[in-house]
Amino acid sequence: MKYSFSSRIEAVKSSAVRDILKLTQGQGIISFAGGLPAEEWFPIDALKSASEEVFRMGTQAFQYGLTEGATSLRERIAKRMLTYRNIPVELDEIMITSGSQQSLDLFAKAMIDPGDVVLVENPTYLACLQVLQLYGANVIGVESDDYGMIPEDIEAKLKQYKPKFVYVVPTFSNPTGRVWSVERREVLLRLCTEHEVLILEDDPYGELRFSNNKVPNIAALEGNVANRIVAYTSTFSKTVTPGMRTGWIIADKRVIQRLARGKQSSDLHSSVFDQLILSELLESATFSLDDHIHKLSLVYKERMETMATHLQQDEPWREAVWKMPQGGMFFWVELPEGLDAEALLKCAVGKGVAFVPGTPFFAGAAKRNTMRLNYSFAEPEVIHTGMDRLGEAVGEFLGRHV
Ligand code: PMP
């Protein structure tokens, strides 16, 4: 049988991270590749109690539900959004999705006709690049530095391309771990407001902060306006568990209506059972999500510092350029010019450690000497061993190739 697949799906490359994850499963390979949370910190007991509550509700959790999501969960997320993020939300401005990945997919589905331009940071979240590619977007990278997108370049590209939207991960970004300055957030909002271009703010990591230094979300800077230009998405994947596939998106209600139409053709609605468990968890008398997130952030900070010690002190990293993350799950490392991180990966896997090369995170020309290292998944002792192996690979590689 010769299968005749759509040109749309044939044009999409498989995710480099997912391919690497496949490669590393069950092989004794230490993985700094995926964006996996620490599974020993999943709040299993609290989830068990919450699910028992849901079973006590009777059949409700097992019937079809609303496309927009379970009302109680939407209300509770809306309350959290206001309290913790200063983002005001009405019930018809929020929809539950099967993870923020689905928010990205539905937003692109609702907004993009083939050939439409989307502006992104460079580098940016590679699975969003995949989504944009699937819908035939013309993805243009905006020059970015440690503080966010460069204002002159945003302005020039808004004028030149009249994009459908601008996609950003401004807080503890994937892959760079960067946090945009408040000024850069304000500039993006002002320019997009002037040009009437939507912003999609993707914020899965914002709560995993290593200090008290809280930067406002772009959606919070916009506040309670009649015609929101900011759509905001977040998720329980990084703070509770990714396996429950539950996230949310906040946008103008006309946008939400279109996203709901798109969701009906994808999965009708997200799992009611999972939504109700999470809804119970948010109001639990015995479990505090805030305390949990606080603990998790301390755990991740320790792991980040463990990895940082190697990057700072081990000889092979001497010429590498990187910044200490202030939150989130990733280091972004720039190796000496000329070193190809994809070739390094093969050598590293041979030594029993994996990471993600930077190349697939770029829209357009890539910096091939970059890599993303995840520190949230492995425990500190494992990080030590993994960084010893990786250091050896980098050392050999530098000796051989530079
Ligand atoms: N956006 C970004 C920036 C991410 O890093 C991820 C997870 N890797 C997602 C969206 C998707 O997360 P989920 O679908 O699990 O909510």
**Which atom of ligand 1 lies nearest, measured to the CA of 101?**
14
Q: How far is the CA of 58 from the centre of ligand 1 (A)?
A: 32
Note the pLDDT of residue 399: 83
Rounded distance between C-alpha atoms, residue 261 and residue 109, angstroms = 10
Rounded distance between C-alpha atoms, residue 372 and residue 173, angstroms = 11
Note the pLDDT of residue 26: 65
- The more confident residue out of 20 and 186 is 186
Write phi, then psi, for 199 (nearest 5 degrees): -115, 130
Q: Give the closest residue (by CA) to ligand 1 atom 5.
A: 174
For 275-305, what is each residue's pLDDT tens digit? 999 999 999 999 999 999 999 999 999 999 9
Note the pLDDT of residue 18: 66
Write phi, then psi, for 357 (nearest 5 degrees): -65, 150
Rounded distance between C-alpha atoms, residue 386 and residue 363, angstroms = 29
For 369-393, what is each residue's pLDDT tens digit? 999 999 999 999 999 999 999 999 9
Strand partners, 144: 149
Ligand 1 pocket member 125 (CB < 6 A): yes
Give exposure, 191-220, as e/b (b: 16+ Cβ within 10 Å): bbeeeebbbbbbbbbbbbbbeeeebbbbbb
Q: How far is the CA of 356 from the centre of ligand 1 (A)?
A: 15
Place of tokens 């994947």: 237
Which amino acid belongs to residue 347? C
HEC secondary structure over 155-185: HHHHHHHCCCEEEECCECCCCCCCECCHHHH
**Residue 319, Cα to own-chain centre: how many angstroms?**
28
What single string gives the DSSP state of each residue in 234-292?
EESTTTT-STT--EEEE--HHHHHHHHHHHHHHTSS--HHHHHHHHHHHT-SS--HHHH
Q: Are 297 and 208 in contact (CB under 8 A)?
A: yes
Strand partners, 120: 141, 167
Ligand 1 pocket member 235 (CB < 6 A): yes
Rounded distance between C-alpha atoms, residue 141 and residue 123, angstroms = 8
**Which atom of ligand 1 lies nearest, measured to the CA of 247?**
16
Q: Are 119 and 158 in contact (CB under 8 A)?
A: yes
Rounded distance between C-alpha atoms, residue 164 and residue 138, angstroms = 10
For 55-89, what is each residue's pLDDT tens digit? 999 999 999 999 999 999 999 999 999 999 999 99
Q: Quick check: 402 pLDDT over 60?
A: no
Ligand 1 pocket member 205 (CB < 6 A): no
CA distances in angstroms from 125 to 168, 170, 176, 177, listed in the order given: 9, 11, 9, 11
Rounded distance between C-alpha atoms, residue 402 and residue 398, angstroms = 5
Note the pLDDT of residue 397: 87
Per-residue DSSP letter, 329: S
Cα first-last separation, the chain:
47
Q: Quick check: 320 pLDDT over 50?
A: yes
Q: Are 280 and 52 in contact (CB under 8 A)?
A: no
Reference 40, options 365, 351, 376; nearest CA is 376
pTM beyond 0.85: yes
Ligand 1 pocket member 204 (CB < 6 A): yes
Note the pLDDT of residue 24: 72
Q: How far is the CA of 74 from the centre of ligand 1 (A)?
A: 19
Please calculate the CA angle 16-20-22 and round it to the nearest 5 degrees. 120
Q: Quick check: 253 pLDDT over 60?
A: yes
Note the pLDDT of residue 22: 72
Note the pLDDT of residue 17: 63
Ligand 1 pocket member 174 (CB < 6 A): yes
| Ligand 1 pocket mutation, candidates 42, 97, 237, 356, criterion most atoms within 8 A of CB | 237
Ligand 1 pocket member 35 (CB < 6 A): yes
Note the pLDDT of residue 39: 96
Task: Tell me which H or E stretch contains 332.
Answer: strand 330-334
Ligand 1 pocket member 98 (CB < 6 A): no
Note the pLDDT of residue 325: 97
Q: Give the closest residue (by CA) to ligand 1 atom 8.
A: 35
Q: How far is the CA of 101 from the centre of ligand 1 (A)?
A: 5
- Residue 53: CB atoms within 10 A of its CB come to 16
Ligand 1 pocket member 306 (CB < 6 A): no
Q: Quick check: 319 pLDDT over 80?
A: yes
CA distances in angstroms from 255 to 104, 201, 250, 251, 274, listed in the order given: 13, 14, 9, 6, 24
- Structure confidence at residue 15 as a pLDDT band (50, 70, 90): low
For 99-128, what is each residue's pLDDT tens digit? 999 999 999 999 999 999 999 999 999 999
| Ligand 1 pocket mutation, candidates 125, 208, 239, 372, criterion most atoms within 8 A of CB | 125
Reference 363, options 78, 132, 135; nearest CA is 132
Record the tokens describing residue 271, joined without a space.
């799992």
CA Rg value for the chain: 21
Ligand 1 pocket member 332 (CB < 6 A): no
Q: Are 374 and 325 in contact (CB under 8 A)?
A: no
Q: Give the closest residue (by CA) to ligand 1 atom 7.
A: 35
